[in-house]
Amino acid sequence: MLELLWLVPALPLAGAIVLLSGALRFGKRATTVVGVGSIGLTLAVVLTVLAQYAGRHGEIVVNHVFRWISAGAINVDFALRLDPLSAVMLSFVTLVGFIIHVYSIGYMHTEGDRAYARFFAYLNLFMFAMLTLVLGANLVVLFIGWEGVGLCSYLLIGFYFDKEYCANAGIKAFVVNRIGDFGFLLAIFWALRVFGTVDFTGMADALAADPARYAAAVTPIALLLFVGAVGKSAQLPLYVWLPDAMAGPTPVSALIHAATMVTAGVYMVVRTNFIFRLSPTAMLVVAAVGGVTAFFAATIGLAQNDIKKVLAYSTVSQLGYMFLAAGAGAFAGGIFHVFTHAFFKACLFLGAGSVIHACSGEQDMRKMGGLAKKIPVTYWTFLVATLALSGIPPFAGFFSKDEILGRVFAAGAGNLNGFGVSYLVLWVLGVAGAFLTALYMFRAVYMTFHGEFRGGHEAEHHLHESPPTMIWPLRILAAGSVVVGLLGVGKAITFGSDLNWFEGFLHHVAPTVEVEHAPALGTEWALIVLSVAVAGAGIALARRFYFGPQAFAAPRRIAERVPGLYAAVANKYYVDEAYDRTVVRPLGKLAHFSWKGIDTIAIDGTLNASAFFTEIAGDLLRFLQTGNVRNYALLVLGGALAAAAWLLL
């Protein structure tokens, strides 16, 4: 069965091709069968493959499909690789992907047949790209998937391309991603030059055999790879595209911008951890970017009123945690957070979708409220996922976030790579972020589901629970948000007995960087209690601010007292405006100059001038063309004699 690994990306691709080759003229039923069916089949294949793989004890299975590039000493195969890391990714990507496909049946059913088919074609294509990314056995194959998900992201964000802000958001996502991809490409070239191969196994073997030889190249390659990851995973300073990407349909936000694609950056860093772990600088950079982003995005999330924007900044923030973990050497911990996050963030987004669906497309939380009674299933699933995200035990997020914070603290206390103080500062940021997370998430919950409905009588009348195809995915994902955390119960919680199945499973490919002086058990328990307390404090504050008769009074007072700060946060620290002023507009001016100044005047002018002179020359020379054959003969003979004379004399 493992030989059939190629089916995993091939099935969604086939689905996409079938849908696109039908020129998007299938009816809804046919589209559903093809679009969802292909992913269902993929899920079946993946489950079979994983069931078989479970007995292999972390063995690395590489499946060479065909030789792709062969140029001199450079050989790149189109090869798929199944190892614990890709197995984990494979499992939740396919599962969450399938659930979201099912959810989309209900969510998109109001679209026209064409748009419906287009949507599922793109979703299938996205699944193909994501699975290729996950399964790629070398950087180049990974890069195909990388670009593929970027393309699909662009297509799906701009799905409602007739609305200008959607199209612009798609372009923005594409362009910002391009910056990261550029770094990634450079990293691939550099790796190819240094290692002579881009194969993960080959590079890891080369590094293991002679680390000193590659010492100089490791840091730049790692940093360039990280540039790519920053772009794809929406970290500072390239995070700006992700909030705008909420312009796409909600299932897309759930699938791409929460569960799968944005985690590709984390996945890639963990995938190439054999490079990162050799470069303390790069590790610190990864951790710093992640930690700062985690805090920074959380603060922005506090002041957002669009329910999807809140979730988007939450995603950015959580991705920051993942990078923080990776940067602290807890690669397995990072992936664990990716794993749990996929469930509860997908659940949150789908819940948000359900809310939006219920409110007839309204996304502003200020016009919601009191929805808990109207759409109870959505409310309860949303609440479960929120608790998971906030890190309340025993929900999934608690285990993964606690693992991360514990590892970061350990790295700081154990003076990892000599950057102990830095890691401690990042730990503080992380804890503060956890507090803010609980705060903004429960703000969203209270604003949306509690209090009075603020959306007007008309909208209230339309409130309704979503169809089963949307409810059941919510239930499954909510259940997942509760249980998946148990896969990676931390050492401290079980009082030192190693029950962390997740980390053990990943140990072969992404071993955690252990620090010399691990914190004592008591310290760890203190940390656990601290993080839970912080989350609880966040929830309590949110309840005080946004619940009950005094709701909104306190935040309004704060906003009035420090208007500058509030405005800055509400306007996302003016980052977009700053980019607009420093990058976009100068570039626009440059482009305008290239067009008007260089292209029109210099290049076109040169061409026109040469054409003009040719015309003049032709006007003059045509007097030679008498139209008389004998005259031509005379000229030819004269010329021949002149040539002969020149040769002879």
Residues forming the site for other proteins (CB under 8 A): 622-623, 625-631, 633-634, 637-638, 641, 644-645, 648
Residues near 64 by Cβ (< 8 Å), separated by ≥ 6?
77, 78, 79
Our CB check for other proteins shows the closer of 521 and 643 to be 643
Q: How far is the CB of 636 from other proteins (least distance, A)?
A: 10
CA atoms of 447 and 29, how far apart (whole Å): 37
Our CB check for other proteins shows the closer of 598 and 633 to be 633
Q: Kindly report the three-state secondary structure assignment for every residue of 188-241.
A: HHHHHHHHCCCEHHHHHHHHHHCHHHHHHHHHHHHHHHHHHHHHHCCCCCCCCH
Q: How far is the CB of 628 from other proteins (least distance, A)?
A: 6
Judged by DSSP in three states, 81 sits in strand
CA atoms of 358 and 337, how far apart (whole Å): 30
CA atoms of 190 and 57, how far apart (whole Å): 33
User: Number of helices (H) and strands (E), helices first, in the chain?
Assistant: 28, 2
Six-digit token string for 208 = 């293991």
Residue where the block lists tokens 């935040």: 555
Our CB check for other proteins shows the closer of 553 and 634 to be 634
Q: How far is the CB of 272 from other proteins (least distance, A)?
A: 59
Residue where the block lists tokens 């047949």: 113
Q: How far is the CB of 618 from other proteins (least distance, A)?
A: 9
Q: How far is the CB of 638 from other proteins (least distance, A)?
A: 6
Q: How far is the CB of 622 from other proteins (least distance, A)?
A: 4
In order of 50, 393, 404, 544, the CA distances from 431 in angstroms are 36, 16, 10, 21
Our CB check for other proteins shows the closer of 486 and 633 to be 633
Residue where the block lists tokens 């969450």: 96
Q: How far is the CB of 613 from other proteins (least distance, A)?
A: 18
Our CB check for other proteins shows the closer of 66 and 623 to be 623
CA atoms of 297 and 437, how far apart (whole Å): 10
Nearest to 336 by CA among 136, 94, 506: 506
Q: How far is the CB of 615 from other proteins (least distance, A)?
A: 13
Q: How far is the CB of 630 from other proteins (least distance, A)?
A: 6
Our CB check for other proteins shows the closer of 529 and 633 to be 633
Our CB check for other proteins shows the closer of 361 and 627 to be 627
Burial class of residue 504 in the structure, from the number of CB atoms within 10 Å of its CB (0-12 exposed, 13-18 middle, 19+ buried)? middle
